[in-house]
Structures are given as structure tokens and as C-alpha cells.
Structure 1
Amino acid sequence: MNKFAALCLILCAAPANAHPHIFINAGLVFVVDADNRLTHVQVTWEYDELYSLLVTEDMGIDADYDGVLSEADTARLTGFDMQWIEGYNGDLVGTLAGQNLTLSAPTAPTATLTEGKIVTTHLRAVSGAPQINGTLSFLPYDGTYYTAYDVTLPVLVQGGNGCEVTVDTPDIKGALSMTKAEIGALPEDFDMEAAGLGDIGRRFATDVRVTCAAL
């Protein structure tokens, strides 16, 4: 299936409240030092129940369906979503005062199964540990919108001085309507990148912002 067909299945053929294939509740912890330098970002992903069931069944985890993982199960599950291909941004884009930030590959993964949902965490170092002297913005999203991220888990600043967090949620319904209209006006063999739709998931991204007091 090409990208056009996949996107149309999600946005065009489905009703106005259609959703992507995987749902993730996300949380972020910004690790900031005493000089308000951002050193790391810890990311939490809580997968939806259906996807969690598919993963655990495919991996042979929690075979008795009691929701309790053995040590061996936990070891197998930990890092299952950390096998990233080269160039993958981890569905997280960060900027500081409008300048893109470079994040490391994921480290320190954890995984649990809580109330039928897989919950994982990982840590990413921020290159250069920049001082937060402007607006820090992080958007958790999948550019293809195959996975939908909803920032419903805690967003915190660990450390720092005078730092505050704001969470700006998107207008999902409005973004869907606009995207459907745009796609409906394009020929089936169009090039998504050329049409400006190569990063369509950004329209549905929650903007998590951090500001810190001047030192």
C-alpha cells in the first residue's frame, strides 16, 4: 500500500472522528541543571490496550493473561520499542528559541504492563545541554500520523530554577477537516512531500513548552 492509499484510509474513507492505528498517551520529564541547562528528556509512552495485547501475544508475554509480568517477561519487553532505524527521530521534535535541538538515541529503557497497557520509558540526552534562555518547545508526534500521541501523562521539570510548563493541545477535529479537504483535491498519484504533506502529523501535535527565569 502506498502512502496516499494509507493516508486516505485514515483520513478520507473514515468518519470525521477517525483515528490512526496506534494510540499513545505520552509524558515528558525535562531534566534541567542548576544553570537551567537542559541535559536530558525522559519520555513515557503508554500504549493503547489493543496494541498492547497484540505486542504481548506476538512476544509470548503474559501468556496466562493475569496482567502480571514475570522477570523474564519484563526483560523481554524492555526495549521492544527502542529498535530505531537510522534517521528516526523518536517521534519527538524539540526546539529552543526556534532552533532545532539534537537528541541522542534512547537509553535506560523500562517497560511495565499496567491495567492491560504497556508503559515504557526511555531517556534522551540533549546535545550541548543548552541553557533555557528562550521558549523550549517539544512536540511528540508521528509525521505520518499512523500513531497518535496524546500528552495526558505528567509533564514535569526536574531541577532548574523558576521553570514553568505549558501544554498547548491541538484542534484535532479542525486539522482532520482541513487535511481531508486538501487530500480530496489531489490526484491519487501525487507526491506527498511535494504537496507539503510529508510531515502531516505535525498538525495533530501537542506543543509542550518550558520557560525558565533568567539567571
Structure 2
Amino acid sequence: MTAKAVAAVDRGTYLAVMRWLLSVISCCLPIPAMAHPHVFIDTGLEFIVDENGQLTHVRVTWAYDELFSLLQLEDMRLDQDGDGVLTQNEEEFLTGFDAQWIEGYNGDLIVTAAGVPVALSAPLSPSATTEDGRIVTTHLRAVEGGSVPASALSAKAFDETYYTAYEVTRPVVVTGPAVCQIERFDPDIDGQLAQMQAFLLTLDADYDLEENDIPMVGENFATEIRISCPAT
């Protein structure tokens, strides 16, 4: 499986998922079965701020679910003894497997400063290891242009198609000399699922997904992190 397949899917795959959702409704399955991510990632974020209260980098941690990790390690012929621990050579071989991004891919991370999107670099300084059999990777992203004020930052980690589900369960920290405030706002999962069900129930069984605009729902399930660092 390619790194891009891990992090996002193209519109064709998204339409296939939506068709699956429609079939779920036709079978009268309960709401929880409708939201059907295929990869689950526990996410951590480190916001790196300089002495002037400017954001310069964001370090992202992805901890993949057990099933995906097992399949990836088997595909790459790693951890052959099955103890869930990689050798140094195996870690070096694994490093970067999810950092080969296609042009235009945003890394499933949206950062804004005072409401304005922040352009981030491609992944830098990747690392990879395992924890209890789960693959855990990190990568660093630099702010294009050097820095932006960190007085009103917002960050959301999500795949707009919801093929990959990101949960911000790992640490969220600010690194640097500035004293910053961190807030998190978790989504109303049940409410969003109910809205999704209501929308899909309005569609005819013969509805042509390819010829109509289907809303991307991933952001609706995303935790928002807000950072406020005083300027100096």
C-alpha cells in the first residue's frame, strides 16, 4: 500500500465509499455503521514557536491502528519475529513510507493564523518506530515564508473523505520560549452522524454520485486545536 493510499483517497474511492453508505441505509443498518473509516490514526501535534511568538514549524505524530500496522509491516517484510519491536535497520527502512506525498496533498492537516490558511512545507525529517506493535511516525513541516504570528492559530487534522479517521489523542504541545494557551474543541460525533444519515436518506437509490456534488464530511469529525501565543 502506498503512503498516499494511507493518508487520503481520490474522488473515485470516495464515491465508492458513498455508494457503500447508501447500501447500508438500504439495509437499514444503525447509524454507527455508516461512518466507515478504513484507517485509524491517533494524532499528536507540536507547534514550534520562536522568541517573537511566531509559528515556524509543526511536528506531526501519526500512530496507526493495529490492523493497518500489521498489514504494512507484513507487506514490507518487517518484524519477522512478530515481537512488535523493530531493529534499527528495520526502523530506517520503514522511515518515510508515509512521507512520499503527491503534489497538492496537504498532509491531512489544515492550519490557519487569524483565519488565513498557513502554507506548510512537504514533510521533513521523518521518523518511524513501533509501539506495542503499532507503527508510529513523525514528520516536521515548516511554515512557508519562515513564520506567521501564533497569536490566533487553529489546526485540524482530517481526511476530507473520512477514509482515514484522525483522533487527536496524543500530546498537543507548544515548544519555544513563548507562553501559549492551548484549547481543544471536539466534534459532536453523534450529531454529525445523524446529519449524514438524514442527508443520505434524501437520496434516491439510483442517485448518480459521479454527476452530482457529494459533500466531503471529514472535517465535520475533526477536533480543532486553538493556540494563542502573545507577540513580543
TM-score by length of 1: 0.92
1:179 maps to which residue? 196
Which of 209, 214, 217 is equivalent to 1:190?
209
Write the distance in 1 (CA, Å) between the matches of 2:89 and 2:230: 46
Pairwise CA RMSD: 1.8
Give the drift of 1:16: 2.0
CA distance in 1, matches of 2:109, 2:101: 13
**Separation in structure 1 between the aligned mates of residue 50 and residue 193 of structure 2, nearest angstrom:** 39
CA distance in 1, matches of 2:88, 2:212: 45
User: Where in structure 2 are there 5+ consecutive unaligned residues?
Assistant: 1-11
2:150 corresponds to which letter in structure 1?
Answer: I
- 8 Å CA contact retained: 1:79, 1:110: yes
Contact 1:95 1:136 in 2 (8 A): yes
SS at match of 2:97: coil
**CA–CA separation in structure 2 for the residues paired with 1:146 and 1:181:** 20
Following superposition, the deviation at residue 71 of structure 1 comes to: 2.1
Q: Do the aligned partners of residues 202 and 214 (structure 1) sit closer, same or farther apart at CA in structure 2, a change above 3 Å counting?
A: same
Q: Supply the AA of the counterpart residue of 2:92.
A: A
The answer as to whether partners of 2:187 and 2:221 remain within 8 angstroms in 1 is: yes
User: CA-to-partner distance for each residue in 1:44-87, whole Å, 9 max, x for gaps?
Assistant: 00000011001001110101101121222111110111111111
The correspondence of residues 63-212 of structure 1 with structure 2, limited to 5 A, is 63-128=80-145, 129-133=147-151, 135-187=152-204, 188-191=207-210, 194-195=213-214, 197=215, 199-212=216-229
Deviation for aligned residue 1:179: 1.2
Displacement after TM superposition at 1:167 (Å): 1.1
Match of 1:15 in 2: 30
Residue matched to 2:7? none
- Percent identity, aligned pairs only, is 49
Q: Say if 2:45 is the partner of 1:34.
A: no
Unaligned runs of 5+ in 1: none
Cα offset, 1:100, TM superposition? 0.7
Q: Specify the SS of the correspondent of 1:189.
A: coil
| 8 Å CA contact 1:11, 1:180 repeated in 2 | no
Give the secondary structure class of the aligned counterpart of 2:67: helix
Aligned length in residues: 212
Provide the C-alpha distance between the structure 1 equivalents of 2:223 and 2:194, rounded to a whole number of angstroms.
18
**Separation in 1, partners of 2:82, 2:188:** 37
